[in-house]
Chains A and B, each alone.
Chain A
Amino acid sequence: MTGPQDIYFEDVWFSYNGTFVLRQASFSVPTKEFLVIIGPNGGGKTTLLKLMLGLCSPQRGKIILFGEYTPREASHLLGYVPQNTNINLDFPVRVIDVVLMGRLRGLKFLYTKEDRRAAEEALEIMGMDKYANAKMRELSQGQRQRVLIARALVSQPRILLLDEPTASVDVEAQRILYDRLRELNEKITIVLVSHDMTVISSYATAVACINGTVYYHGSKEITSEMLQMAYGSCPVELVAHGIPHRVLAKHDGDRDA
C-alpha cells in the first residue's frame, strides 16, 4: 500500500436475491493502474464494476474512492463505458448527442457552449470527430465503442471503467482501442472487464480474478509465472474455456512479433 489509492474495497459482500456473487472482497487499486478484471461468466465482473460506479450497493463492507468518497459522491470523477451490446441500435441518436450525455449533471437543464466544445474534443481524442453528426447506427462496432469512450472521457474522469469494450469488435479495431487506452493510462486509472487474454499480457499492470471473491494480482510485471499462479488461485480455465496455456503461449508469440 504505497502511493495514492484510487479505489479501495474493504470486506465487500454483495448478493442478488440472497445468492452472494461477491464475498470478502478486499483490495485497492493505485492511481494510474491498468486493471483488467477477468473471471467466468456470471462470476461477478460486471457487478464489481457496478459497485465501483455506485450502481449497486454492497450488503456489507465499504468502498472508498480517492481516499474519501463513496462511489455515488465520486460519480463525477468516473467515466463509465457500458457494454455496447446492451444498447438499442435502432435508437435515433447522433454521435455528438451521445457524447454530450457525458456532460449531464444531476438536474442541469441545458448544454452550454463549453459542453459542446468538450464533446468535440473528446471525439477528437478518440479519432471520431469526423463522425460527430453521424447516426450511431451508421457506425461500425469499433467506432461505436470509441464514441462511448469519448462520452466517458468528456467529463474528464480520473478513472475510466469499461465493460467488455472489445466484445464483437474486429481485431484491428481492438488494437486501436487498446492503444488509445494505453495513451489515456498515462494520465488516468483504467479498469477494464474483459474476456480477452491479449489485453492482460500486453497492457494490464494488474489483474483481478473474480469468482465468488476477488483475487488481486497487483504487480508491475505480469509474467507467465504470475499468470499461472493466478490460474492456480482461481479457476481461470473456465474463462479460457479450458485452454489457458494455449492462449498464453499464443500471445507470448504475438508480443515477440
Chain B
Amino acid sequence: MLEALQYEFMRNALAAAVLASVICGIMGTIVVSKKLVSMAGGVAHAAYGGIGMALYLGFSPQLGAIGFALASSLFMAWTTLRMASRADTVISIIWAVGMATGVIFSDLTPGYGADLMSYLFGSILMVAKEDILYMAILSLALCAFVPLFYGHLLAYSYDEDYARTRGVPVDVLHFTVIVLVSFSVVLTIRIVGLILVIALLSIPPYIAEKFCRSLAGMMATSFLLSMFFSVSGLAAAYTFDLTSGAAIIIIAAIGYLAAEVYLKFRKKPKGA
C-alpha cells in the first residue's frame, strides 16, 4: 500500500484529500447546520454549465466553474433573503439549468465528452499542482476567517433574527458564506466530482453533529472523518481499481450507517 506514495500523483492525491477535508469539514459544518445543503448542490450543478462553456470556448474550466458557481450562488442568496419560502424551487431550477447548459455545450464541443465526465465523477488521481495551491489558499483563508468570527458565525447559524438584534451583520455574513461555499464546491469538484460533492460536504458534518457539543467540535470532527473517508477511499480505489470519488462516498455512506446503528443501540441518555 505505502509503495503507492512513491508516485507523485499519489502524493498529490493525498495532499488534495487532506486539503479537501479541511474545506469540507469547515464549510460542510456551516452548510449542514445552516441548512444550505441543497444550495450547495445547486451551486455544484450550475458550475457544470460553466465547465461546459469553458471547454467549448477554450478557456480554463476552473474559471468557468467558479464564474457560474458565484453567479448562481449570489442569485440564490439574494432569493433566500428576499423570499425564503420559494428558495427550494429556485434552487432546483438553477440546478437543472446548470446541468442542461453543460450538456448543451458538450454537444456543441467537437470530439469528446471525456473531460466533462471527469468533472462529473472527479479525478483526484489527476489533480494538478495548481489545484492543490488553490485549495491550500482556501483552507488557510477558512482557518483564519472562522476563529475570528466564530461568535458571529455561531449566532448567524443558530438564530439569525437574534443575531441581527445583537448588531451582527447577518446579510454580509450570509453572502460571505455563500461565496465561500461556491469556492469550496468548485475546488472539491476536482476530488469527488460534482455529483458527489454534496455528499462529502454533508455526510461528515451530519455524522459529527450527532456527537459534538459545539460548532467548533463539529468542524474538527468533520475534518477528521472527511480525511478518513477520502484516504481510505483512495486506498480502496488504488487497490481495487475503482473510481476514486465513488469509493470515497461509499465509504462515507458506510460510516454514516455505522454511526446511526451505534446511536440506535447505545444506551439511551435521559430525555433523548
Contacts and interface: CB of A to CB of B under 8 A. Distances in A.
Contact of B158 (A76, A88, A135, A140): A88
B214 interface: yes
B167 A75 contact: yes
B170 to A, nearest CB: 10
B73 interface: no
B33 A109 contact: no
Nearest to B168: A104
Given A88-B33, A90-B209, A92-B212, A106 B167 contact: yes
Contacts of B162: 80, 82, 101, 151
Contact of B149 (A75, A109, A137, A138): A109
B169 interface: yes
A238 to B, nearest CB: 24
A96 to B, nearest CB: 10
Contacts of A155: 166
Interface in A114-154: 133, 135, 137-140, 151
A59 B151 CA distance: 32
Contact of B166 (A92, A101, A111): A101
B81 to A, nearest CB: 13
Dominant secondary structure at the B interface: helix
Contact of B155 (A101, A133, A135): A101
Contacts of B100: none
A126 to B, nearest CB: 16
A105 B167 contact: yes
A55 interface: yes
Interface string B206-245: 0011001111011000000000000000000000000000
B166 A104 contact: yes
28 contacts: A53-B165, A54-B165, A55-B165, A75-B165, A80-B165, A82-B162, A86-B161, A87-B159, A88-B35, A90-B209, A91-B209, A92-B208, A92-B209, A92-B212, A92-B214, A92-B218, A93-B215, A102-B166, A104-B151, A104-B152, A104-B155, A106-B168, A107-B169, A111-B151, A137-B272, A138-B271, A138-B272, A151-B162
Interface of A: 50, 53-55, 75-76, 78, 80, 82, 86-88, 90-94, 97-98, 100-102, 104-111, 133, 135, 137-140, 151, 155
Interface of B: 33, 35, 148-149, 151-152, 154-155, 157-159, 161-169, 208-209, 212-215, 217-218, 269, 271-272
Given A75-B165, A92-B214, A106-B168, 7 more contacts: A76-B167, A82-B159, A92-B217, A93-B215, A101-B151, A107-B152, A109-B148
